[in-house]
Chains A and B, each alone.
Chain A
Amino acid sequence: MNMSFESRSMLGILTVAENRIDASVAIAFKDRFRDLVAGHDGDVILDLGQVAFIDSSGLGAIVAARKLLGGARKLILAGLTPAVNKVMTLTRMHMVFPIHANTETAVAAQIDTAQAAQ
């Protein structure tokens, strides 16, 4: 599962460099997510801009990944392609995850939120 992690101050940015998150990679996704965010304390942006397709198993893996962050942190989704957006909306998961058009707008929104809180 080709996924990479980058830390920008308190934000973690996890990029999925795969075309699909489906039943055949759902467990690998969750395992890789856990490894990549280990040692990171802040919120995480999951960049799905390269993911053209997700099925219910892949969705379940993203929900499981969100639980790995605990109750005090957020998993923010960025760059949903049309098919991924359709699955998120159908399952109401767009109400669970903050969603941004791309990673840059997600980062900007997080910085704004952090500044407003100061």
Chain B
Amino acid sequence: MIATARGAAGPRGLISLHFPAQDVAVRAALLKVDAHLRSLGIDDDLCDRTQIALAEACNNIAEHAYAQVYSDDPSITLDIACDRGGIQVTIRDKGGPMPEGQLPGPDLPPLDLDDPYLLPEGGFGWPILRSMARALSLSRCNGQNILRFRLPATDNPAN
């Protein structure tokens, strides 16, 4: 893994990580990002939102994108740039394309409060990511998926 951090000139902090698309490696990468953001003085709430959003995005790649296609290098490249307005995230993988090429919607799975056996155990990932991320976009170029989103400094729907 390569991590770089830059000072106050230009972006306040850049971090670039390349790691296997596998849950243990995703955890390790997220912990590195968290330590880096906290070292820059980013507040707890934005650090938490970043962890939550990155976990859902990276787990989705590990669980779905690379499940569809053989790859001799199932990996994720994560680039983060911090500025005064928040955090810009770019995540690249070489897994399969999103079905229909579309990002899943924001709807949570149905909830029946009367029957615990009907409670959903999955389907939370995209709604969670969508609720955190602004300017979410997915593109595909040369066999690579590129997911971009922004985490605003203040979690206000107007952002």
Contacts and interface: CB of A to CB of B under 8 A. Distances in A.
Interface string B77-88: 000000000000
Contacts of A4: none
A102 interface: no
Contacts of A110: none
Contacts of A63: 119-121
A37 interface: no
A83 interface: yes
A88 B121 CA distance: 13
Given A24-B23, A56-B125, A91-B124, A82 B55 contact: no
Interface of A: 20, 22-24, 53, 55-57, 59-61, 63-64, 66-67, 70-71, 82-83, 86-87, 90-92, 95-96
Given A57-B59, A71-B116, A96-B113, 6 more contacts: A23-B27, A24-B24, A56-B122, A56-B128, A66-B116, A82-B48
